[in-house]
Amino acid sequence: MRLKDKLGDRANASSEIEYHGAYAEMIGEPGRGVRTIIDMVQHTRLDCIVGSAGGMRASLAQALWHTEHRSAFQKKLIDQPAMSRVLADLALDSEGATALAFRIARGFDNAPDDEREAAFVRLATPVAKYWTCKRQPGFVYEALECHGGAGFIEEGVMARYFRAAPLNAIWEGSGNVIALDILRAIGREPDSLEAVVGEVAKAQGANGHYDRHAKRLAEWLEPGALNEGSARAFAEDMGLALQAAALYGVAPDFVFDGFCNARLDPEARSYGYGASEALIDTAALIARAAPF
């Protein structure tokens, strides 16, 4: 056995184990290993989704607390326009990640007695695993940067959060594995796609950017549009749609509309936090997210 010297997540020890002359019994049919373990994998992928949403929320809370109690140029950092825009933008991603995590968890609870919910989680889980977990490292970095140099030292928690941030995107299938599993789910279980499309349809008509994004999703599903090379792009678009759909009717309108305006409008979407010029209620988003 060899204990792994990991980048982060050290409290959860990992090791390599070799078995020699050990007795084992095969579970399932030969060549059907993935199919045999997929139910377990779905649950641990949900763990990854919840873990990333939680890591994002914890990082945001730290950034909000620091900027509320740190001042520059006779003004709190949280009240500086550039900083408040960054914090509000982070809050949008945290809201979307949390709402979708709870929606999928509810689907798992309902699945034993509801075939449509079971179909929904079969596809929505890998989509959320791909998108939410991939967003976490950049999110945590931006929250760390809100602390300035104080975020880069080991006395605080941000360095630890940052080291752990990439893990959930790697566990239970890295990006390409998850993206290809999404394509397999669509091809082999069309009822899962129908359930997800139905979920997205529930919020149509509530926001113009949302409606246009839903139309783009429909174009992805036209014959010949989806292939392995485009799997990641489709996963991103579907992940954003499901996060927005999860916010609809649950979060306040300023959260749902802000998310749609900043994340679903291609012209407003930015590469970095705080750079989008989308219409969002900065003060309301920060007040809702504040841990104080």
Residue with tokens 């609809």: 248
Six token digits for residue 123: 């596809």
Note whether 119 and 42 are within 8 A (CB). no
As a whole number of Å, the end-to-end CA separation of the chain is: 46
pLDDT category at 36 given cuts 50, 70, 90 is confident
Beta bridge partners of 15: 3
* pLDDT value of position 249: 94
Q: What is the pLDDT of residue 233?
A: 97
pLDDT mean over 75-99: 98
Query: For residue range 182-197, what is the model confidence (pLDDT) as tens digits?
Result: 999 999 999 999 999 9
Average pLDDT on 261-283 reads 94
pTM for this prediction: 0.94
Q: What is the pLDDT of residue 12?
A: 86
Compute the average pLDDT of residues 210-225.
93
Burial class of 11 by CB neighbour count within 10 A (0 to 12, 13 to 18, 19+): exposed
Q: Quick one: how far is CA 212 from the chain centroid?
A: 21
Whether the per-residue pLDDT at 38 is higher than 80: the answer is no
State how far the alpha carbon of 48 is from the alpha carbons of 82, 107, 203, 263, 281, in Å: 31, 16, 26, 22, 30
- Cα separation, 287 vs 292, in Å, equals 9
Categorize the per-residue pLDDT at 37 as very low, low, confident or very high, splitting at 50, 70 and 90: confident
What's the mean pLDDT when you consider all of the chain? 95
The fraction of the chain above a pLDDT of 90, given in percent, is 86
pLDDT value for 40: 84
pLDDT at 10 (0 to 100):
85
Can you give the pLDDT at residue 49?
98
Please say whether the dihedral angle defined by the alpha carbons of residues 50, 51, 55 and 56, taken in this order, is positive or negative: negative
Question: 129: pLDDT confidence band, cut at 50, 70 and 90?
Answer: very high
Of residues 174, 173, 164, 172, the one with CA closest to residue 7: 164
- Rounded mean pLDDT, 230-236: 97
CATH for the stretch 41-289: 1.20.140.10
Q: For residue range 41-51, what is the model confidence (pLDDT) as tens digits? A: 899 999 999 99
Q: What is the pLDDT of residues 5-23, one digit of tens each?
A: 999 888 888 999 999 999 9
142-154 pLDDT tens trace: 999 999 999 999 9
39 has pLDDT over 90: no
